[in-house]
Every structure is written in C-alpha cells, then in structure tokens.
Amino acid sequence: GAVVSQHPSWVICKSGTSVKIECRSLDFQATTMFWYRQFPKQSLMLMATSNEGSKATYEQGVEKDKFLINHASLTLSTLTVTSAHPEDSSFYICSARAPVAGVLNQPQHFGDGTRLSIL
Amino acid sequence: LAKTTQPISMDSYEGQEVNITCSHNNIATNDYITWYQQFPSQGPRFIIQGYKTKVTNEVASLFIPADRKSSTLSLPRVSLSDTAVYYCLVGPSGSARQLTFGSGTQLTVLP
C-alpha cells in the first residue's frame, strides 16, 4: 500500500536553530501534501497544505515565515521550522493521498511523525 | 467541513466488541466518513472508510444509517494492542482535500 515516510523521527536542538523535516511519498506521486502539528494529549491541527510547484497554503494563525514549506518534487515536501523556540516543540506529521484512477476518495496516508524538542 | 462529535474516552476488556459512535449532523452529500487509529508518537493509521450502509474490512466494520448523520466504528474482539485514539473524520473526496481532526476517542482495552 501507499507509504509516507518522514525524516527525522525525532530531533533535539537549541533555541534559535532552524530544523528541516522531510516528508516523502515512497510509492506514489503526491501533488498535494499536508502538514499537521500535534501537542501532547491534543488532536492534530492542520498547519498548511503543500502544493507541488507552487506556494503552500497556510491555515489561519500559522506564520508562513516561521514554517517554510517547499514541495519541489512530486514525492518530497519539506517543512523548515526557522529560528525554533521552545514553544515550537511539538509532534509534526505529514500526510498525502495516493491518486488512483477511477477511484473517487482514496484515504490519506500519514507519516510516522517527527518529534521536535527545542531546548 | 462537517463537525464531528465523539466520546472522549471508552474502556473495554479484551475479547469484547467495541462500538464507537460519531455524530456528524451537518454531513454534506459528497462527504465520506473515514476512521483513523493513532498510537502515541505515531501518525494516524487508516482503518476504514464509507459513504453509506455498511462497510467491512479485515479489522473493522463501519455502520452508517440512512440519514448519514452518525456512524459507528465496530472493532470485533479487541486486544490490548487496540488501545489507541480513534478519530472520525468527514469530508468530500479529492486529493486536495485536507482533513479536519476532532478530539478523537481514547479507547483503553483492559486485561
């Protein structure tokens, strides 16, 4: 089945560092990927929609200059947390839907997430 | 996007059947109903999806009444490893559709 891979699975870094998270669709091409953030004991919150070859669409309240998204190919989207601070510590998850010809509603597949801890 | 309402938590015992109901009163005509399972520190995993009536796969069944304003995820003979958060999502088809997650249901399976 369709697989979405995230890297790294966890990262610890100092405040002020920029951190890049990769999201890859391993066996399908994804023109659209989604980035979510999840705080402990809370649900997933959509941050932005990543569009291949064009600018990402950010949800209200998400700083586009803080969370840089690049979707340069049909199998890779990256999220860069710039000048990260402790409040950016969270679990970041990406997802994508594998298009299937003639099938209206394929489910989204999620990566296993990236645990980001800013000291 | 249709809003969903689920119980915050449920407890069950090993070997029992568990039914988790989700309310989605303002579901639209082109909306599908999808259920995901999430373990701690992992991404959500697709369980089952349906539009109407009943859908069954190797891990669960999904019951959707005619008015589609609710749905019930049925997990047969749960085990300890089924302890997780279960999310019900409702939305239209299309690869560009983002998912809006509700609060989910924390299922705890007891020995």
Question: Amino acid identity of A38?
Answer: Q
Q: Which two tokens stand for residue B109?
A: 């399976």
Please list, in sequence order, all residues whose beta carbon lies within 8 angstroms of the beta carbon of residue A51, skipping any fewer than 6 positions away. Answer: A31, A32, A57, A71
Which carries the bigger pLDDT value, residue A95 or residue B1? A95
Contact residues, chain B, for A31 at CB < 8 Å: 95-96
Across the interface, whether the CB atoms of B95 and A45 are under 8 A apart is answered no
What does the pLDDT look like over A57-100, one tens digit per residue? Answer: 999 999 999 999 999 899 999 999 999 999 999 999 999 987 66
pLDDT tier at B42 (50, 70, 90 boundaries)? Answer: very high
Across the interface, whether the CB atoms of A93 and B101 are under 8 A apart is answered no
Across the interface, whether the CB atoms of A113 and B46 are under 8 A apart is answered no
What does the pLDDT look like over A25-49, one tens digit per residue? Answer: 998 888 889 999 999 999 999 999 9
Residue A54: pLDDT above 90?
no
State the Cα angle at B3 between A39 and A60, rounded to 5°.
Answer: 55
Chain center to CA of A84 = 16
Alpha carbon distance B104, A111 (integer Å)? 19
Alpha carbon distance B79, B16 (integer Å)? 8
Which carries the bigger pLDDT value, residue A106 or residue A26? A26
